[in-house]
Amino acid sequence: MKKNVFLSQLAGFVFVSVAGVLLHFLYDVSGASPIAAVFSGVNESTWEHMKLLYFPMLFYALLQNRYLDGRMENFWCVKLKGTLLGLTMIPVLFYTIRGVFGDTPDWVNISIFFVAAAVAFYYETETFKKDMGKCRGKSALLLLLAVGVLFAVFTFFTPEIPLFRDPVTGGYGRG
């Protein structure tokens, strides 16, 4: 079982990495489709880069849960925490590095995505090894899905705060 978990987590990291890169371009390739906007980055804001991690992690978790056939009681609690960790790391790393060094080259910004994904999957893998006791899996899944609703809503109704500001255009959301 432990080997299966490790391999499925490794596959998850690869999947999320590839899917996140592809989602970065989906909105433009789709001709600015509103449906693509929900799942892909619509601009270069930090928020939109967080979306590139969230949706692949959620999709993979749904597949992985099916693959593991519900054998892990704490699955959704671990996935919720791992996803939130990865999502938190993106702005923390981006703004910390930017605060220390100023503008950073694109390869640094791209690396932040992969580091966040790697840390999220590493945390999940280590946490799956532990017995977490009681876990309200349905509540964790609902919270995880609620995050997705926020990503969708804020794509179309974007708060005008720095997290949502496109550093290239200075705009917000799909504008």
CA of 79: how far to CAs of 5, 34, 74, 84, in Å? 13, 27, 9, 8
* CA–CA distance, 121 with 130 (Å, rounded to integer): 15
Residue with the two structure tokens 């804001």: 45
For the stretch 6-12, contacts whose Cβ atoms lie closer than 8 Å and that sit 24 or more positions apart, written own/partner, are 6/125, 8/64, 8/67, 8/68, 9/121, 9/124, 9/125, 9/128, 10/121, 12/57, 12/60, 12/61, 12/64, 12/121
Amino acid at 36: A
Q: pLDDT (tens digit, 0 to 9) for every residue of the chain, 175 residues total? A: 566 788 999 999 999 999 999 999 999 999 999 999 999 999 999 999 999 999 999 999 999 988 876 677 789 999 999 999 999 999 999 999 999 999 889 899 999 999 999 999 999 999 988 866 677 788 999 999 999 999 999 999 999 999 999 999 999 998 6
Q: What is the pLDDT of residues 75-97, one digit of tens each?
A: 999 999 999 999 999 999 999 99
pTM of the model: 0.93
Backbone angles phi, psi at 33, to 5 degrees: -60, 130
Question: Which of these, 29, 61, 55, lies nearest to 141 by C-alpha position?
Answer: 61
